[in-house]
Amino acid sequence: MTHAFDVVVVGAGGAGLYCALEAGKSARTAVISKLYPVRSHTGTAQGGIGAALGNVEEDRAEWHAFDTIKGGDYLTDQKPAALLADEAVSAVYHLENLGLPFNRTPDGRIDQRRFGGHTRNFGEAPVRRACYAADRTGHMILQTLFQQCIKHNVVFYDEFHLVDIFIERNRCCGLAAVELATGDLHVFRAKAVLLATGGFGRMFRITSNAYANTGDGPAVLARRGVPLEDMEFFQFHPTGIRGLGILITEAVRGEGGVLRNRNGERFMEKYAPTLLDLAPRDMISRAILTEIGEGRGAKGDRSADDYVFLDASHLGKDVLAAKLPEISDFSRTYLGIDPAAEPIPVQPTAHYAMGGIPTDDRGRVTIDDKGTIIEGLYAAGECACVSVHGANRLGTNSLVDLVVFGRRAGQDVSGYVGQAGLPDLPPDLTDRIGEAIARLRERTGGPPPEPLREEMQNLMMQKVGIYRTEKDMAEAVRALGELRGRYRDIGLVDRGREFNTSLLEILELGNLLDLAYITACTALRRRESRGAHAREDFPERDDTAWLKHSLARLEGDAVVIGDKPVDISIWPPRPRKY
Ligand SMILES: Cc1cc2nc3c(=O)[nH]c(=O)nc-3n(C[C@H](O)[C@H](O)[C@H](O)COP(=O)(O)OP(=O)(O)OC[C@H]3O[C@@H](n4cnc5c(N)ncnc54)[C@H](O)[C@@H]3O)c2cc1C
């Protein structure tokens, strides 16, 4: 079956929907999503969206931009970061006008709270910058944007799974997707395609990410020869529920929650004397591992599954019920703990991909260090790398990224499709992809995918996690290469056409393996410590040799890595102290 649209957006999270809403005003726009739209991962975002509204105390977009750049350990491109901070303000008011029910101050303005790394006056003290709807901010964004897209006649293809993208002579001309309900292959011709397929935390064992976060968009593009940017930087959030990884939002600390070790000490006093528990995530995750490594974890046995405590009991039942109902519920459901009475056991959890598909600040996919674009191809949201998060994203800045750059991409794409024609597809393309899927369906009798997935997740957790060494990462690269080889023999148990989720799981595992391999290769190459990339053997940041982005190209079994300059045109890099 073949469809034709001006714009096809892949992904119905915050980034995809914002882009579709903008593009849908003037162009025939479709959204395809492997999940029903409001089940997208944006719906789990808890704590808030950062914007310098200055509603509860003085704040400025310039301070927000500076915090973002310093938080990213100066790998952040500075002009896009300034754009992010500037346009965050109008994007939040736009969401409010679309109907998003933010929490309010007593005089009726959008309420704001503190979040890690967000400060007033270039680092003096924490500032209240996160706008929030209790701890269900992402849920509210997603519902608001979905309703608006329906109102503006965006066409939705729910439970359609992207399998390939067509790029001919540096021009994107469409994509192929499998319809989950029927197993049918659909081809979408389009003047422009935007990828907004979200993150890929599922390559790690302990993660806050949903099962669907398998990096399908970046992986498909990597196999089509598009390089991926800064893949070595993967963020661990300090407070996942012990053993499960389910997130306990930073807003708990924003409201006054405190991290403690087995002796009840507020250990962040040692590591970040000014910002304490509101230091950036990379620093707090490392501080937790240091406490555990020195025997001050809850168990005190220095083991990989030791943990620390997040104490919110002093906030009281009323604050927890009004501002943090979701995490209170999680604690009761998964741990049998009432956070108003006891501290929550937490450990770092793989959370956010700073790297991804390189784009310019209009969402156009770029392929080299000169900013050459692929015509008609866009990306936004967590799967993209603008790069506004550098080596470490600040909390609340992902939701800003989705709405600011989702909106900018939507505006650019509407202009582009207004003057572009519908490109032709190569004649035998549909047959080729159909045959590839049919071959996969016939692959019975091989080993099942689950053990491979577990091996990959354990490898990434143990060898490409928070602290990294040459020896561990070289071993990970070797083992992941071997897993990619074994993947080619995997067998399919279910050969049915309707709702064949095992077929999709195999496709998703292939995507995760490719991205894990690129992550390990790029991490092995970067011989310094910066943001989320902490090397025990190269503990210092090295601006002379490594103040540059990586661009990694998958060429069969090899990952070829080049460089791209960082825009440091506003603030020169300085040591990062909090
Ligand atoms: C628990 C949690 C809490 C968070 N809290 C915050 C917060 O408070 N503030 C903040 O700024 N950030 C937060 N984040 C981060 C933020 O929520 C995410 O980075 C962001 O929502 C990602 O949005 P997205 O639109 O890029 O992708 P997603 O919302 O993940 O959407 C991806 C979309 O792509 C579709 N898709 C994927 N693959 C395919 C395919 N093969 N075919 C078709 N469709 C596909 C999916 O169906 C989905 O619709 C949090 C993250 C987590 C995990």
Instruction: Give 65-83 pLDDT, tens digit per residue.
Output: 999 999 999 999 999 999 9
Instruction: Quickly tell me which residue has 């207004």 as its tokens.
Output: 418
Bridge partners of residue 364, in order along the sequence:
378
Q: Nearest to residue 286, comparing CAs of 235, 231, 242, 250?
A: 235
Q: What percent of the chain has pLDDT over 90?
A: 93
Rounded to whole angstroms, the Cα distance separating 526 from 515 reads 17
Instruction: Give 485-505 pLDDT, tens digit per residue.
Output: 999 999 998 889 999 999 999
Cβ < 6 A, ligand 1 pocket: 10-16, 32-35, 40-42, 44-49, 137-138, 160-162, 196-199, 208-209, 212, 216, 247, 249, 352, 381-383, 395-399, 402
The tokens for 172 are 């994107």
Q: Alpha helices, DSSP H only, in 192-340?
A: 216-223, 251-254, 268-271, 281-293, 316-323, 325-330
Rounded to whole angstroms, the Cα distance separating 126 from 116 reads 8
- Nearest alpha carbon, ligand 1 atom 50: 45
SS3 content of the chain, % helix, strand, coil (to 5): 40, 25, 40
For the annotated catalytic residues, the residue numbers are: 281
* 9, 10, 42, best to mutate for ligand 1 pocket (most atoms within 8 Å of CB): 42
CA of 39 to the centre of ligand 1 (A): 10
Please answer whether residues 365 and 378 qualify as being in contact, where contact means their C-beta atoms are separated by less than 8 angstroms: yes
The tokens for 196 are 């907004």
Average pLDDT score over residue span 255-273: 96
Rounded to whole angstroms, the Cα distance separating 505 from 19 reads 27
CA of 41 to the centre of ligand 1 (A): 4
Average pLDDT score over residue span 414-433: 90
- Ligand 1 atom nearest to 198, measured from its CA: 27
pLDDT band at 433 (very low <50, low <70, confident <90, very high): confident
Bridge partners of residue 522, in order along the sequence:
none
Neighbours of 92 (CB within 10 A): 24
- Nearest alpha carbon, ligand 1 atom 9: 396
Burial 452-466 (b: 16+ CB within 10 A, else e): bbebbbebbbebbbb
Instruction: Give 493-544 pLDDT, tens digit per residue.
Output: 888 999 999 999 999 999 999 999 999 999 999 999 999 999 999 999 999 9
Average pLDDT score over residue span 153-159: 97
Cα torsion angle, 52, 395, 104, 42, sign: positive
Helix (H, G, I), strand (E, B) or coil at 287: helix
